[in-house]
Structure 1
Amino acid sequence: MLLSEQLIIFKKLIFSILLLIISLLTGTIGFYWIEGFSWIESFYMAVITFSTVGFNEVYPLSNEGRLFTSIYIIFNLMVFAYVVSVFSTYLFEGELNRLYKKYAFGKEVRKMKDHIIICGFGRNGSKACEELRSQNIDFVVVDRDDQLLDTIQNTKKYKFILGDPTHEEVLEEAGIHRAEALITTLPSDAENVYLTLTVKELNSKVRVISRASEENSIKKLKQAGASHVIMPDAIGGLHMAQHITKPFVIEYLDQLSGTNENGLCLEEVKYEDLKTEFRDLSIESMDIRNISGVTVVGLNNTEGKLEFNPSSKVLVEPNVVLVIVGENSAVETFRKHFLK
């Protein structure tokens, strides 16, 4: 949590505590100076006057003492009302719980490494969070809207940082120097371009996946350093049209994406994830389809090139990534049999 944020968040709480201390000091000094009481007697008078418990005075008060006490009581009524309102906000309206969760999440984020930073928790950002959560990938959400605190922290239970993601200090708090990738779904293309530039300046190795609303923003985002640029509106419109022009192809893609209740599962399998006995074998020798029921539909070869429908003679070597597809039960069988 940023120091500036801490000062803002605890400002009222600290101020109310200072008011209590100032009130007691004022009362103690006032009774000591006006009535000539000892310091202990003066402090006692200040406490019983502030608390309005109704105990008797140490000694009868002079006219000056009664006037001071009257003003002191009126002042304390205002102080008491303010302090009660502040503490009730923190205790009964859940503010203290939210602050604790921000502090706890901040500690967790500082320990994260190779995680994903999601900037913007709108429709696209929330969907990205759901997908990463389903794959057990660590991520942290950054958004400037404090109205999202309850939803993200209590309902979704995502790690969350409140702040403007285009600010360097907020990105550093999110662990940009340790992150693997950043997804920006801010509503403004200009903000996404500026954020991408800022991210690349802080960590040139991090991958940036950006949302875009306009086609002319794609080139700018690429020039800023974005690895991939997605246009959700364009993809959505194309998808709807293809339900008419290519209905069976779209139905198959819907199953792959999990939007169909009888969905298929599309997975990546890295060489390092395979059990030792299945490494450096050909796809044919592994007999993946007969054992598990999944199909190898593609692979990323040792040169980093994507091959569709690879030959069964291809060896699964270091740096090779297999792309498999199958029903959920078949993919689960594959994991149990082939993966560590």
Structure 2
Amino acid sequence: MRITLRKFARQIMSKLPLNYIRNGSILVIGLLIYGIIGSRIIMGLDFFNSLYYSIITMATVGYGDIVPKTFIQKIFSMTLALGGVGIITYMFSIILENFSKRMSEYSKGAKMYKKIKKMRDYYILCGYGRVGKVVFEELKQRNQNVIIIEKDIQATQDIDPDDSTVIINRDATEDSLLSQIIFDKCRSIIVTTGSDVTNLFIVLTIRELQPNAWVVSRCSKTENIKRLYKAGANKIVSPEIIGGADLYFEAAKPHLIRITLRHNVEDITREMKMIIDHKCTLENIDYHFPGIRAPLTRKIGVLTLEEIEEFEEKLKNNPQKRSSLKNLYDSVHEIHSHWISGSDKANIDRLIKEIEKKDKIIGIDLTNEEIAEITSKYIHHDD
């Protein structure tokens, strides 16, 4: 970000579009040839003086040492001077336009990086294609901060940038770009481009810049899964097997907790409302049958308060549904686990303290084996 004005100006000049430079050079050379030939034929000058007269006329200097006298000489000199003025104007307009464009990009980039620094926690999404869009929707539903890196400007035109969304239309394989946005506040990096080779390169770059970053990558071909793991990806996801919601779920794992607890059917909606109040999301519920390692998992995902109240109303008005749910809770002796993600760790910690006041927490982040051992004491009871 720290760059001298001289260096910045040099970069601007070096990045002028090649077609403009080529066209300008052709015009200058063409007009110079016209001037030399015309000066020799019309002005009657030798080659050196023809070159000299052409240059000073094109540059509109006109020292007056060579003066056109006849009508045709004056016409020739005017066309040469007008041509020179036109070319100079053209070249300056191109330089100024490019300078203005680069200055605008520089200003926009400075504001963007300032916005990123103000973010508390954020996800980086590399690639905004078919899969990337689904992942972005999952992140936004959970009120997460997201930085999208997508070099195709057209692909991101439908996104409305706000305080929680930053769009960077550059190539995610650029070392300089990733080094400017991967900080400790970056929660996870999700790589979703359609090319396994590009994903591999991005993962390698990220791992070099930030060894401790949590990286989830898309993989289209199964034979490339091992390569991506070796490159440093923490988790590989195939869109053909699981979708964008699972990509988010895997990316959130460093900030995802599994709370194993006991409460009855009457407390279900209270618990759900409590989770929403703390800006967290109940991703899944695992029901643990006595002595069985693999739980029965029910996917929940993003719920609104209205949906919870609607569910609560259905339980009240539908005795059969309530009875079925109660039978499930009785079968697992009310022992189940909540997979909960939060907007940040502080919200999750506050939620845990609140749950401890209302329910009995058996453990946090217990394995299925540990839970099966705890529930095994109910096997004889069920018999």
TM-score by length of 1: 0.52
1:11 corresponds to which of 16, 22, 27: 16
The 1:273/1:151 distance shift into structure 2, 3 A limit, reads closer
Work out whether 1:286 is the aligned partner of 2:341: no
Which one-letter code corresponds to 1:300 in the other structure?
D
Aligned match of 2:347: 273
Work out whether 1:214 is the aligned partner of 2:221: yes
5 Å-filtered alignment, 1:108-119, equals: 108-109=115-116, 114-119=121-126
Aligned match of 1:197: 204
Work out whether 1:71 is the aligned partner of 2:80: yes
5 Å-filtered alignment, 1:1-340, equals: 7=12, 11=16, 30-31=60-61, 33-34=63-64, 67-78=76-87, 80=89, 100-109=107-116, 114-148=121-155, 150-152=157-159, 158-175=165-182, 179-235=186-242, 253=299, 256=301, 262=307, 267-268=340-341, 272-273=346-347, 279=353, 283=355, 286-287=357-358, 299-300=364-365
SS of 1:233's partner is coil
Shift of 1:298: 8.4
Shift of 1:207: 0.6
Count of aligned pairs = 253
Shift of 1:233: 1.2
Mapped contact 2:123–2:189 kept (Cα < 8 A): yes
Q: Distance in 2 between the 1:267 and 1:5 partners?
A: 52
SS of 2:242's partner is helix
The 1:157/1:138 distance shift into structure 2, 3 A limit, reads closer
Shift of 1:297: 11
The 1:197/1:88 distance shift into structure 2, 3 A limit, reads closer
Which one-letter code corresponds to 1:124 in the other structure?
V
- Listed one character per residue, the Cα deviations across residues 140-167 of structure 1 (whole Å, up to 9, x for unaligned) are 2222324346445769994222332223
Mapped contact 1:299–1:308 kept (Cα < 8 A): no
In the alignment, structure 1 segments of 5+ residues that lack a partner are 37-59, 240-251, 290-295, 312-340
SS of 1:205's partner is coil
Q: Distance in 2 between the 1:6 and 1:148 partners?
A: 28
Q: Distance in 2 between the 1:202 and 1:216 partners?
A: 26
Shift of 1:181: 2.0
- Listed one character per residue, the Cα deviations across residues 289-312 of structure 1 (whole Å, up to 9, x for unaligned) are 9xxxxxx898436xx999879x9x
Shift of 1:204: 0.4
In the alignment, structure 2 segments of 5+ residues that lack a partner are 29-54, 247-297, 312-337, 375-383
Which one-letter code corresponds to 2:347 in the other structure?
D
SS of 2:203's partner is helix
The 1:31/1:223 distance shift into structure 2, 3 A limit, reads closer
Q: Distance in 2 between the 1:136 and 1:219 partners?
A: 33
Q: Distance in 2 between the 1:202 and 1:119 partners?
A: 15
Mapped contact 1:153–1:160 kept (Cα < 8 A): no
Identical residues among aligned pairs (%): 20
The 1:11/1:231 distance shift into structure 2, 3 A limit, reads same
- Select the structure of larger CA radius of gyration: 2
Mapped contact 2:228–2:236 kept (Cα < 8 A): yes
Mapped contact 2:126–2:193 kept (Cα < 8 A): yes
Q: Distance in 2 between the 1:271 and 1:125 partners?
A: 25
